Copies of this chain bind each other. A is one copy, B any other.
Amino acid sequence: MQTIKYSKNKNWQEVLQRPVFDSSSLEKKVKKILEAVKSEGDKAVEKFTKDFDGVKLKNFQVSKKEFSEAAELLSNELKNSIIVAKNNIEKFHAAQLHAPEIIETMPGVKCWRKNVAIEKVGLYIPGGSAPLFSTLLMLGIPAAIAGCKKIIVCSPPDKRGKLHPAILFTAKLLGLRDVYKIGGVQAIGAMAYGTKTISSVYKIFGPGNQFITCAKQLIQKDGIAIDMPAGPSEVAVYADETSNASFVAADLLSQAEHGADSQVVLLTSSADLSRSIEIEIEKQLEKLPRKETAKKALEKSKIVLVKNEDQAIEVLNEYAPEHLILSCNNAELLADRVINAGSVFLGNYSPESVGDYASGTNHTLPTNGFAKSYSGVSVDSFVKKITFQQLSRQGITEIGKTVEAMAEAEGLKAHAEAVRVRLSNIVGKHSTLNIQ
């Protein structure tokens, strides 16, 4: 790890600059795949599945038989763990829906806002080096709580044309039946534009590599919504003298093992602690199966020695990490000062991995500094908040003159007339001015 000692450069954006990846080089390739799926449908999906996943599939949908086989292939320990995680995630996300509250802004002017599920959504679950059934929990649970009617799941098949049993077990547990063995850009294209097999959806969720990210950007231009822009996963840890070097080292490593492009940042005011943590990292690294990946990520990672806690918070808010671990004494007080972060972990017993899997919070979070303007996925991501208003005769009478004056001032006479025609009708009908 590279150590930045008590930097005089206060441009923290510059000090902690993330690598910039230019997707324009991929764009041509990705566009071609999307266009082929759009025009040729399943035929194109078949072709790309053969080319990229190395397997010839005629039927992409996971069968009932495959679902039931899956449960038998998993240990009871794993199945129970997935159930525990599901319960926690459900508990946390269920509290995110609020019943409509009618606000009477003026007598007879009632306004409210209602959560209505997005009808059709698509969830992309990457395959590759790890079967991310945890991501299926994180997307499928809020989608179900929101009440989305059509929930499509796509994930790349392995060489035998199968999905990992943990993904299938999780899908079944969540009641998801529209699960397809399709991966990569062709999956994003199929969900965006629809094929004979796959229904098109209004919003697509899920992580992925640079091809997936680029595909999601492109289909967004065609009016399909996406969860958020994406970048490599990140963690920032703030540690003080009360933190445990081996805990912090383990947290940094758990982010580093994600991929060579993972961003790992440690902030502390103590040079001694930072040295102890580095020693611990060396020690723990040796035991990891993904040692080589983690090493590559660590090479580009940074230790920032800060003057004090205040400066730590300043740097952290400027960096806007996806995950932020406050491994320190007064974590609650510091957490109150966090302005930009995806998810925050307080104290010595809250490693990032509990949030990744089972604490209940969502692990689909804004990376790449997007925490400055984006939230992580929640039930909100799967609903629209439709507003309603209902005025009584009294209501329009109370508010009428206000609307007329404003519409006239904006030069929108017909807007004023829509009120006037009602007011004169009311006065005409109710000469006694019984306006209720």
- Contact residues of A with B, CB < 8 Å? 75, 77-78, 80-82, 84-85, 87-88, 91-92, 95-96, 98, 101, 103, 105-106, 109, 111, 113, 116-119, 129-134, 166, 202-203, 217, 221, 223-225, 229, 244, 246-247, 250-251, 253-254, 256-258, 284, 287-290, 294, 331-332, 335, 338-362, 366, 368-376, 378, 380, 383-393, 395-396, 399, 401-403, 405-407, 409-419, 421-422, 425
Choose from B384, B390, B421 the contact partner of A350 (Cβ within 8 Å): B390
Q: Are A412 and B351 in contact (CB under 8 A)?
A: no
Q: Are B103 and A350 in contact (CB under 8 A)?
A: no
Q: Are A88 and B116 in contact (CB under 8 A)?
A: no
Q: Are B417 and A250 in contact (CB under 8 A)?
A: yes
Find chain B residues with CB under 8 A from A132 CB.
Answer: 410
Q: Are A402 and B361 in contact (CB under 8 A)?
A: no
Q: Are A374 and B369 in contact (CB under 8 A)?
A: no
Q: Are B354 and A399 in contact (CB under 8 A)?
A: yes
Q: Are B359 and A399 in contact (CB under 8 A)?
A: yes
Find chain B residues with CB under 8 A from A419 CB.
Answer: 351, 353-354
Instruction: Give bound CA distance, A387 to B385, whole Å.
Output: 21
Instruction: Give bound CA distance, A417 to B246, whole Å.
Output: 10
Q: Which of A77, A229, A422 has the most CB of B within 10 A?
A: A422
Please list the 7 inter-chain residue pairs (A to B) with the smallest Cβ-Cβ separation, ordered nearest first. A105-B360, A88-B105, A225-B373, A346-B390, A353-B415, A351-B418, A81-B405
Would you mind naming 14 contact pairs between A and B with Cβ atoms under 8 Å apart?
A: A116-B340, A166-B410, A225-B373, A253-B417, A288-B414, A345-B390, A346-B388, A349-B422, A353-B416, A354-B396, A361-B387, A361-B388, A372-B384, A376-B387
Distance (Å) between the CB of A327 and the closest chain B CB?
11
Find chain B residues with CB under 8 A from A111 CB.
Answer: 92, 359-361
Instruction: Give bound CA distance, A338 to B417, whole Å.
Output: 27
Q: Are B421 and A246 in contact (CB under 8 A)?
A: yes
Q: Are A395 and B349 in contact (CB under 8 A)?
A: yes
Instruction: Give bound CA distance, A223 to B384, whole Å.
Output: 23
Q: Are B105 and A92 in contact (CB under 8 A)?
A: yes
Find chain B residues with CB under 8 A from A84 CB.
Answer: 106, 399, 402
Q: Are A418 and B343 in contact (CB under 8 A)?
A: no
A91 in contact with B78 given A378-B385, A399-B354 (CB within 8 Å): no
A340 in contact with B388 given A396-B354, A415-B254 (CB within 8 Å): no
Distance (Å) between the CB of A64 and the closest chain B CB?
23
Distance (Å) between the CB of A389 and the closest chain B CB?
5
Main secondary structure of the interface of A (DSSP, over half): mixed
Could you list 16 further interchain pairs (A-B, Cβ under 8 angstroms) beyond the known A113-B361, A223-B370, A344-B386?
Answer: A88-B399, A105-B360, A118-B372, A129-B411, A130-B410, A130-B411, A225-B370, A244-B425, A253-B417, A254-B412, A287-B413, A290-B413, A343-B387, A349-B422, A375-B385, A376-B387
Distance (Å) between the CB of A98 and the closest chain B CB?
6
Find chain B residues with CB under 8 A from A349 CB.
Answer: 391-393, 395-396, 422
Instruction: Give bound CA distance, A385 to B423, whole Å.
Output: 43
Q: Which of A289, A385, A392 has the most CB of B within 10 A?
A: A385
Q: Are A389 and B354 in contact (CB under 8 A)?
A: yes
Choose from B217, B251, B406 the contact partner of A221 (Cβ within 8 Å): B217
A341 in contact with B386 given A289-B413, A391-B354, A414-B250 (CB within 8 Å): yes
Q: Are A202 and B373 in contact (CB under 8 A)?
A: yes
Find chain B residues with CB under 8 A from A224 CB.
Answer: 373
Distance (Å) between the CB of A253 and the closest chain B CB?
4
Q: Are A354 and B386 in contact (CB under 8 A)?
A: no
A284 in contact with B130 given A109-B354, A346-B388, A388-B335 (CB within 8 Å): no
